[in-house]
Amino acid sequence: MNWTPPKSPYTLLQEQIYDDPWKVFVCCIFCNLTRRLTAEPIFWQVIKRWPNAHSLSKANINDLIEMIKDLGLSQRRAKALIKMSDDYINKDWKADPTQLYGVGKYASDAYRIFCRGDWRDVEPKDGALVNYRNYLKEFYDAEENKKAC
């Protein structure tokens, strides 16, 4: 599928990284229970240091904990990031991303919306994803109305 999610007024981080599912999962681990404004700068620092699943799966957990400590839950997040990255490389997860360690409904929904374009079949509970999905409905309804005219 060749899907490019349209840019919304919400400027979600996932809109920028949709072409790399691993980054979407990392983003969701960062944003879970944390405000985006707090999580985003640290997300980019981590991605700069460990730019792919292979490098993050081999990260020193103490270095990662130190880098993400301001997010809270740093030990839990660091473990999740390393194990999820390893699973991303070694598991057959594409049909069900929740098979990845630390990936729940929020991250799975984000993957389906931003990476796969399956937004019509997703019923997110997260407020930002609900807003984005509603935006997509309006965006594509407006596109259809233009074509009909």
Catalytic residues: 126
Contacts for 29 with CB less than 8 Å, ≥ 6 apart: 77, 80, 81, 84, 102, 103, 107
Residue type, 144: E
**Rounded CA gap, 13 and 44, in Å?**
10
> Which one-letter DSSP state was computed for residue 33?
T
Could you tell me if 5 and 18 are in contact, meaning their C-beta atoms sit under 8 angstroms apart? Answer: yes
Summarize the chain as % helix, strand, coil (round to 5): 70, 0, 30
Closest CA to 50 of 16, 91, 77, 22: 22
Could you tell me if 64 and 78 are in contact, meaning their C-beta atoms sit under 8 angstroms apart? Answer: yes
